[in-house]
Structures are given as structure tokens and as C-alpha cells.
Amino acid sequence: MKTRFILIQTSHAGNVGATARAMKTMGFDDLVLVAPRWPNVLRREETIQRASGALDVLENARIVATLDEALDGVSHLCATAMTPRDFGPPTRAPRQHFEMLLKGELDAYTVQALEPENTQSFTAKPPVGIAFLFGSERFGMANEDVYRCQVALSIPSNPAFGSLNLGAAVQLIAYEWRQALGAFPVPSSTPEAQPADAQQVAGMLAHWEQALVAVGFLDPAAPKKLMPRLNQLFNRAQPTPEEIHILRGVAKAMLQVAAQAKP
């Protein structure tokens, strides 16, 4: 789905760079600036530094004079506003709203309210594109801009201190939207270990049986269920071939110590 981030009247160049970085980490690249304080904000040194390598997002970004010019190709507008308003779109947490949006529940609610007789035959359609609107650092979003949106997203935070800088707010919204669309896989830092095969485990157990007899822990005349229990233990543990080598090294050392201890 087309996804756009719109910054309205941004006053700090660094926040533009931080926004580009936040977007790229979540796989988004459509950035539009509406009437920023600096006409050359995309080329300012602070912007480039804070982007931390997301220069392609900056290169593709657009600067427009009005919000209308930033809304081409998108049909679902999400305001971001901390301050509750007594009029305007509903306020929801991002995760809740995204789930409702992608399941088609928002359109279904609208039909149920306006045309209850058609609810059963209603088929939800995803929006053409979605845009996230962020207001200026000092004043936030203007009421008239919020009123144009289908929802006001509010990031759940400490009621006593909910202040987020612009870059952090963009990162959280971008993360939640990416999770809703389908998260990126988390790469494993280490390769998945392959367990030793049954032959290797059996060889190690035979080696340990010799060592346990040598040190006097296992009585071959009355072994009871010691070796079957050890077999079950190692089946549950699923040791790797490298771990089998270590265990056989321990058995070898036990046999050597036992041999040295004989008179």
C-alpha cells in the first residue's frame, strides 16, 4: 500500500533527517515537506547528518507549499496529535487503528451507521494510499488539518510526560505500520545448530559407560537404568557434534585419571 509521511511546517532541519532515517529503517521512502522553515532543508548539513545514510529518502523527498499538494494518490489521512480535541476525527492508538483499517472494519462501521440495510452485502476495500501527517515542533497540527483526517493517532505514553520529539514519533508510527503490514524477519546472529546423529550419540554413551565403570560410578553387575536414563537425557538435550566431542573428551580424561589411580 502506498505510504507517505508528511511533515507540516517543520522548523528544525535535524528532524527532517531523523524522519528520513526512521522511515528507511522501516522500509518507507515517500516523504513530503509542507512549507518547511528552510527552503533548502533537504541539503542542509544537519539534515544530512541526522539522516545517517538515508540520503535516498532525502533525494526523493518533495517540498510543497500547501497540504493539498501533498495529498495526491492517498485516500486515508492519519493526523498525529497528543492534545485531545472536542471535535474532529476519533482518537485511537496506532496499533488499534491499523488493525481495524486492514481488516476493513472502519468502512464496515461507516456503512452500518449510514446504510444499515447494506451491511451484510458490504465488501471492504483497502484505501488507495495512506498518509501520516505531523505538525510543527512548536504548535503541532492546526485544527483545520486535523479535521481533514480520518483519525487522530495518539501514541500511548506516560500520562504525566508524553512528550516525544518529531523523529521519535515518526519512528514509532513507522514501526507500528510496518508491523501491521507485515514485519521484517529478524535475522539470526548465529547459524542454527544441527544436532548430532544417533550414531554419534550412541558412540559417546558407550565411551561414557566405560568411563563411569572406570571411576566406580557405574557397577556393570547392577547397572539398573543409568545408561538408558542418560540416553533419554541426551535425546532431550540434542547435543551438537561439537558438544559430543567435548563429552567424549571428558570421558577420555576420566579413563586416564582412573588408569593413573590404579596401583
Helix 226-237 crosses helix 198-214 at what angle (to 10 degrees)?
A: 140
Secondary structure (H, E, C), the chain = CEEEEEEECCCCHHHHHHHHHHHHHCCCCCEEEECCCCCCHHHCHHHHHHHCCCHHHHHHCEEECCCHHHCCCCCEEEEECCCCCCCCCCEECHHHHHHHHHHCHHHHHHHHHHCHHHCCCCCCCCCCEEEEEECECCCECCHHHHCCCCEEECCCCCCCCCCCCHHHHHHHHHHHHHHHHHCCCCCCCCCCCCCCCHHHHHHHHHHHHHHHHHCCCCCCCCCCCHHHHHHHHHHHHCCCHHHHHHHHHHHHHHHHHHHHHCC
| 174-203 confidence digits (pLDDT tens) | 999 999 999 999 887 788 889 999 999 999
The per-residue pLDDT for 246 is 96
Domains and CATH numbers, the chain: 2-182 (3.40.1280.10), 198-261 (1.10.8)
**Of 261 and 84, more confident:** 261
The per-residue pLDDT for 263 is 72
Q: What percentage of the chain exceeds 70 in pLDDT? A: 91
- Average pLDDT on 225-249 reads 94
Q: Quick one: pLDDT band at residue 14, thresholds 50, 70, 90?
A: very high
In sequence order, the 6+-apart residues with CB closer than 8 A to the CB of 13 are 38, 41, 44, 46, 47, 50
The per-residue pLDDT for 85 is 65
Return the C-alpha cell found at 28: 518507507
